[in-house]
Amino acid sequence: MTTAAARRAPPSRRSWHATILVVSLVVVVASVLLDTTAQTVSFFGDPIPPLCVIRRLTGYRCPGCGLTRAFVFMGHGDPLSALRMNLMGPLMWVLVAAQVPYRAKQLMRGNAAAPDVSQ
């Protein structure tokens, strides 16, 4: 007996997709709303302090340095500047942005498979 309710994904799977959808949407919208230069990121003109603990403690760049600025440049449609900030930035932004339609589709289908996150 296959009813619509029987085919619907369990709540944990639906909440997994919903969580990833919301986080991805927040990241993509933030990348559009924030402004950046090669040195700083700002929110409506107010600079956001650098958050990289490794750079603060050691003075050296870590693999994630420049990732926020790369995401903001991608949000503004400037992939070349994003590449200058962090080589993986444009690819990672595309992967995050691709989660929005994918997760929305999975939630609309209602029978989406998701990893078991209960362990």
**Residue 111's pLDDT band (boundaries 50, 70, 90)?**
low
119 belongs to a structural domain: no
Q: Which class for 45: exposed (0-12), middle (13-18), buried (19 or more C-beta within 10 A)?
A: exposed
DSSP state of 10: P
57 belongs to a structural domain: yes
pLDDT of 1? 45
pTM above 0.85, yes or no: no
Which domain range does residue 52 map to? Answer: 11-107
115 belongs to a structural domain: no
Name the residue with higher pLDDT: 68 or 113.
68
Dihedral angle sign, alpha carbons of residues 63, 68, 69, 71? positive
pLDDT in tens, 46-92: 888 877 888 888 988 888 889 999 999 999 999 999 999 999 999 99
87 belongs to a structural domain: yes
The C-alpha angle with vertex 72 and arms to 67 and 78, in degrees rounded to 5, equals 105
Domain total for the chain?
1
